[in-house]
Amino acid sequence: MHIYPSSLQARLRRQWRGGMILLLALPLLTLLAGCEQQTTQHPSPACPSSAQNVTWPAPATQVISYNPPSTAPAPVTLQVSQTLEVDLYGPWTWQLRSLDSPSILTVGTPAGYLDALGQSCVWRFTAQQAGAEQLRFFGNGMCQGTAASCVGAFFNLGITVTAGA
């Protein structure tokens, strides 16, 4: 056992406590810094088409924006020759699963392109004939952290489109 003067003992205790607090706080600060970094990044979705800044001859008749995990959009009603734009937001990989066969809608080209702001995958459809169709999209959550901190998320989105004469 070492014997130190009381002032030296008090100073050593303060230094030891300060060091322990720093050692305990450091992992917490690192974790918070990592969370901040992940929440401030806004990666773009992974779209099937690499096209950007697409210009259409006219604006879409209706636009639907979907940001998971919000509820599915309300059914859409179009007239023949009207257009529907579907904007799927988030750091997701998006796919259009299928159109019914025969389809009342045609999908515009490019299909599933990244919008000008880099925030959404955009699909554009035109009603070709009267009828009803279910558009089916699949969204796969893209991981932004380490493999250990990632949680997979999948979304199946259905949008009912009815076209009248």
Domain span at residue 119 reads 62-164
- The residue type of 142 is M
- What is the total count of domains within the chain? 2
| Rounded CA separation 72/157 (Å) | 6
Residue 107 lies in a domain: yes
148 and 67 fall within a common domain: yes
Look at strands 154-164 and 131-141 and give their pairing.
Answer: antiparallel
129 vs 69, residue with greater confidence? 129
85 and 155 fall within a common domain: yes
Q: Which residue from 66, 57, 63 is spatially nearest to 94, judged by alpha carbons?
A: 66
Residue 2 lies in a domain: yes
Q: What is the pTM of this model?
A: 0.67
Q: What is the pLDDT of residues 115-144, one digit of tens each?
A: 888 888 999 999 999 999 999 988 887 665
Residue 56 lies in a domain: no
Residue 1 has pLDDT above 90, yes or no: no
CATH of the domain at 100: 2.60.40.2020
87 and 19 fall within a common domain: no
| Rounded CA separation 66/120 (Å) | 9
The mean predicted confidence, pLDDT, of the chain is 75
Band the pLDDT of 14: cuts 50, 70, 90.
low
Residue 153: helix, strand or coil by DSSP? coil
107 and 71 fall within a common domain: yes
88 vs 149, residue with greater confidence? 88
Residue 47 lies in a domain: no
83 and 127 fall within a common domain: yes
Residue 21 lies in a domain: yes
Residue 155 has pLDDT above 80, yes or no: no
Q: Which residue from 85, 82, 41, 52 is spatially nearest to 164, judged by alpha carbons?
A: 82
